[in-house]
Amino acid sequence: MSSKAVVIHDARDLRVEPYETPTPAAGEVLLDMKAGGICGSDLHYYNHGGFGPVRLREPMVLGHEVSGVVTALGDGVEGLAVGQLVAVSPSRPCLNCEYCLRGQQNHCLNMRFYGSAMPFPHIQGAFRNALVVLASQCVVADGLTPAQAAMAEPLAVCLHGVGQAPDLLGKTVLVTGCGPIGVLAIMAARRAGAAEIIATDLSDYTLSVARACGADLGLNTKTDPDALAPFSAGKGRIDVHLECSGAAAALTAGVTVLRPGGTLVQLGMGGDMTVPMQSITAKEITLRGSFRFHPEFSTAVTLMQKGLIDVDPLITHSFDLKDVVAAFEMASDRSQAMKVQITF
């Protein structure tokens, strides 16, 4: 069956092309795709042809934040029915390697994560109007809209990131970078019990969204480079820093304001960064990485279904598949866009 897909060939070379969709085999389902969110990694491929050492080496279907409606079931599929809306986890670990067997599926040696140029051949993505997926990737999204269901992936990233930090109950948390991941991290930190959340960014627009979504204080470090200075008093006032920008300057600023014994969790992916290791050592700061997710995906859907996290304020724009280039251009404009989605 022929469908259409969003294919990146090189930086700024994005095309909608025919793409063959197979019939679902045993354990698989066919989806009529409904919504797909443009992620920061998608933008890196579009604007720069990759990020850090990860470069496009062949055409690749983009996209990994998606939802769809079940239209056909393969043999042996249980717990799903035709007509159901599902959030689709792009995490497809092998479940057999040493890391999967240790419960670290996000570090799978044979991961097939949608829309990734890390391996070669590349792992093709999910921005298609029809897609065959494993039934195990599907989380029933009853009560959610397709747009909300497509937000499960970035929310899962943030739930995993918050899980890398110590107990946040009553803690003061700094979030640097207020794109969708940063704002969802604010929501997740608040849900985890953070008492005070300070957000920084270079855009007044994204900071306004951060404040509306729960940040106690939003600081523009472009217009006021010393905005965090009051939090550096007495060796630092911040308990946990969730770094969501991938910018070395943001990481350094966080180390300056973290209290001795504080924790820095790096979520943002911006390539290699210079790390102020001497300050980290002297202040006995714990530095934790945070990479993708796995079990957190279904939790993300549940939190949205129960109304405990509201993602609607983040979904600022929606474009038809035929207008995909305009969608990526809008998603690149941080003065007016937060989460831009494509409708299939």
- Six-digit token string for 102: 């240790």
CA distance linking residue 211 with residue 175, whole number of Å:
12
Side chain identity at residue 270, one-letter code? G
Q: What is the pLDDT along the chain (344 residues), one digit of tens a residue?
A: 678 999 999 999 999 999 998 899 999 999 999 999 999 999 999 999 998 888 999 999 999 999 999 999 999 999 999 999 999 999 999 999 999 999 999 999 999 999 999 999 999 999 999 999 999 999 999 999 999 999 999 999 999 999 999 999 999 999 999 999 999 999 999 999 999 999 999 999 999 999 999 999 999 999 999 999 999 999 999 999 999 999 999 999 999 999 999 999 999 987 788 899 999 999 999 999 999 999 999 999 999 999 999 999 999 999 999 999 999 999 999 899 999 999 99
Residue 152 · residue 301 · CB < 8 Å: yes
Task: Quote the DSSP letter at residue 13.
Answer: E
Q: If you classify domain 2-151+311-343 with CATH, what class do you get?
A: alpha beta
Domain made up of 156-289: CATH architecture: 3-Layer(aba) Sandwich (3.40)
Q: Are 250 and 273 in contact (CB under 8 A)?
A: no
Q: Would you call 52 helix, strand, or coil by DSSP?
A: coil
* CA contacts within 13 A on the Cβ side of 74: 16
Task: For residue 300, give both structure tokens.
Answer: 């993300």
DSSP SS3 for 44: helix
Phi, psi of 190 (to 5 degrees): -65, -40
Check if the beta carbon of residue 37 is closer than 8 Å to that of residue 65: yes
| Distance in angstroms (rounded) separating the CA atoms of residues 200 and 251 | 11
> Domain limits of the chain?
2-151+311-343, 156-289
